[in-house]
A = this chain, B = another copy of it.
Amino acid sequence: MQIAVIGSGSEHEARAEEVGRLLAERSCTVVTGGLGEVMAAAARGAKEAGGTTIGILPGERRADANQWIEHVVVTGIGHARNLAVVASGDAVIAVGGSWGTLAEIGFARRLGRPVVVLDPGWQVEGEGIERAATPVEAVELALSAAEAVG
């Protein structure tokens, strides 16, 4: 199973790292946007727990990926790569995040991907969006939702 972890904000890195670690322990591949902060933390958590990571970069250079990305996808399409990040997840977990994350939540739901927002995070309500209080809960909800959709 592939789970996309989206978001930003250095204050959310510790929780993103735990999300990544928990996903790896559940044998899920972690898909992120491949850059820094939450993206790097989630990949680091997954990688250090022996998991697999995919980074989907906005730019044109493989070297832009953070060091915990095992499989690098270089898209060259800028922010439009946000669509690919969430589309590549069987479910999506949002950790912190700003406007790009909001775009990803919208795209994820547009494509029918379940979204879990780890508190605190975007206050967006709608079918297919659940909220979690902890990384453990976020991962549980994401895996359950992905299985239900699958």
A interface residues, Cβ below 8 angstroms from B:
2, 29, 52, 54, 56, 60, 62, 71-80, 82-84, 87-88, 90, 98-107, 109-111, 123-124, 126
Contacts and interface: CB of A to CB of B under 8 A. Distances in A.
Nearest to A56: B73
Interface centre among A74, A100, A124 (most CB of B within 10 A): A74
Contact of A126 (B88, B99, B103): B99
6 contacts: A29-B71, A76-B83, A82-B107, A84-B84, A99-B106, A100-B107
A83 B80 CA distance: 7
B79 A107 contact: yes
A105 B102 contact: yes
Contacts of A107: 79, 82, 99-100, 103
B60 A87 contact: yes
A47 B144 CA distance: 29
A87 B77 CA distance: 11
Nearest to A102: B106
Given A76-B78, A77-B77, A99 B90 contact: no
B90 A101 contact: no
A60 B102 contact: no
A97 to B, nearest CB: 9
Given A78-B78, A80-B77, A72 B99 contact: no
Contacts of A101: 106
